[in-house]
Structure 1
Amino acid sequence: MLDQRYITFKILSENKSYTKTAKQLFITQPAVTQQIKSLEKDLNLQLVSYKQPYLNITEDGIKLAEFINNINIQSDKFIHELKDHPKQRNLVFGSTRSVALFMTPAIITNIENQFKNIECVVTNTDKILKMIDHGDLDFAILEGNFDKDKYSYHVIKEEQFICVTSVHNPITKYKEVRIQQLLKENLLLREVGSGTRFIFANWLESLNITENDFNKVININEPTVINHLLEDDLGVSFMYKSLAKDEINSGKLKEIHVKGLDIIRPINLVAIKSNYFNDLLKLIKNNDTH
């Protein structure tokens, strides 16, 4: 277990205030300062840079704070692991909305007999990463971008990113279209912070195009609602092929082949770095989740 100086520094790195840190720990401000200076001396590192009225955490300090957070989370999970019978443990994992529809059912089916209770939190990539950082999730299934140096991860599968519209849209008569031909269409998009939105925005940027170049942008945070609106011929959308597979196969939606849209994205199982439950993550990865 880490000594109190590390805990004090972690709190200071979060609120960037000696006064707030002292109040949170119920100690004096000079005591906080003394602990931080003692830690810097022992480590022979500068962790804090203070120029009134701003307190900044150095690059080494940021790395240390992340390490402390990791250790605290892993320690708590390890203690629960020791205390609980293997099948009496609870599991909480996250999933982005896009992949929740076609991946999480198989994951839950494959691991449900190993836990007493299982909870799946479905939200966007940004929120899921914050929950992992705070120790609120054991792992998550993500299709969005994340810092691969900060987390442990395994690639579960790869997904094709496509353009989809109603079978009644006149644009479907073309074997291939240019993105400029779609700008007159309404664009149905996931909310800001979602992985698919980020992927699409980056691709548009490479073409010197923005979302606002389309006729109208309609933001929706549920993939199933987007598909229903596409069936009603309300516009076009960009998504993972698995999300529209059933509708495409049933003849309700059709894939539009857009020139230059050649994006294959990995779906990752992500957890806090050096996760104690790494064996579990490998088990999930090796199970068939297609």
Structure 2
Amino acid sequence: MLDNKLITFLTLARVKNYTKTAEILNLTQPAVSQHIKFLEETYGIKFIKKQGKNIFLTEEGEEFLAYAKEISRQEKILCQKLKNKFSLERKYNVGATLTIGGYVLPQVLGKFKESYPSIDIILNVFNTDIILEKILKDEIQLGLIEGPFDKSKFKHIKLKEDELVLAVSKDHPFSNMEFVTLEEVLNGKLILREYGSGTRKHFESEIKRHGFTPKDLNIYMEVGSIDAIKALVEANLGYTIISKEAIKRECSLGVMKIMPIKDRTLKSIKFYREFNFVYRDEIFSDYLKHFIDFCLKNV
């Protein structure tokens, strides 16, 4: 277990306030001061300096912080590895985007549980940016994301290819057209996911390839729920760019229609992207590898 004085130092370095540190750690403020004093006396170096009511890390404090963070990270890795190897209770936190968590994984998770009843996959649904942040903080062990990300920071495995499409209500004027130009898409009542979502990121990246920028987007509504977006489109209150996976049911029922998109030269435009597993190799387990292999075979 990580030494409580190191935990105090890490917390104080993060919040830069003795009172808040005491509240977070359920300590008295003098106890926080004693922990910091003990570390400074142990190493013979001042880690904290005060300027009025503000506190700052000294240069030595910044260097100590880097080592303390690494010690904390290694302790988490050790705990996870021991849990993976010896614990009878196997629970793993997996993050997935709204599209993947809502329309790709549910059936696979059911089949996986039948095959591996002793393993619990706890599915947490967030947008891509939040999933990547939680992986870096070791709050989840595995993520399933869509759209672009910094591949230098994560191990990654492609799950499958996905297509973003223009979805309109059967009653929308677009539904009677042979195709819709990208310029028409950008200038009408476009309903999109929130900033930070993989769908939004990928669409913004794709329109740049066709001479547009995110500033050219005339976003009619920004909605953080795929179900809400679909309800708005079905009610003919706008149209959306969405994963083909998410509207299979609506298209089969005839309440929505996928419309082809073309550029200014009338060349067809397709928006393809990847669904990827992302993780940090150090805390990866054989059981999560089984989960990945299972998904690859059953999606």
TM-score (norm 2): 0.72
Identify which range, 3-12 or 119-128, moves more after superposition: 3-12
Deviations 1:22-45 (A, max 9, x none): 78476453752663697798xxxx
Q: How does 1:229-244 map to 2 (within 5 A)?
A: 229-244=232-247
In structure 2, C-alpha distance between the alignment counterparts of 1:204 and 1:57, rounded to whole Å: 46
Q: How does 1:100-111 map to 2 (within 5 A)?
A: 100-111=101-112
Amino acid at match of 1:265: R
Structure 1 residue 50 displacement after superposition: 6.7
Q: How does 1:279-290 map to 2 (within 5 A)?
A: 279-287=286-294, 288-290=297-299
Q: 8 Å contact 2:21–2:32 — kept in the other structure?
A: no
Aligned to 2:95: 94
Aligned to 1:81: 84
In structure 1, C-alpha distance between the alignment counterparts of 2:271 and 2:41, rounded to whole Å: 50
Structure 1 residue 244 displacement after superposition: 2.2
In structure 1, C-alpha distance between the alignment counterparts of 2:44 and 2:239, rounded to whole Å: 56
Aligned to 1:44: none
Runs of 5+ unmatched residues, structure 2 = none
Q: How does 1:1-290 map to 2 (within 5 A)?
A: 7=7, 9-17=9-17, 24=25, 27=31, 29=33, 32=36, 35=39, 52=51, 53=54, 55=56, 64=67, 67-85=70-88, 88-112=89-113, 113-115=116-118, 117-204=120-207, 207-210=212-215, 213-214=217-218, 217-251=220-254, 252-259=256-263, 261-277=269-285, 279-287=286-294, 288-290=297-299
Q: Structure 1 vs Structure 2: percent identity of aligned residues? A: 24
In structure 2, C-alpha distance between the alignment counterparts of 1:147 and 1:69, rounded to whole Å: 24
What is the alpha-carbon root mean square deviation over aligned residues?
3.9
> Number of aligned pairs?
280
In structure 1, C-alpha distance between the alignment counterparts of 2:14 and 2:97, rounded to whole Å: 26
Amino acid at match of 2:289: K
> Does the residue aligned with 1:75 lie in a helix, a strand or coil?
helix
Higher-Rg structure is: 2
Q: 8 Å contact 2:204–2:213 — kept in the other structure?
A: no
TM-score (norm 1): 0.74
Amino acid at match of 1:11: T
> Does the residue aligned with 2:79 lie in a helix, a strand or coil?
helix
Deviations 1:234-260 (A, max 9, x none): 222112222223433554322332438
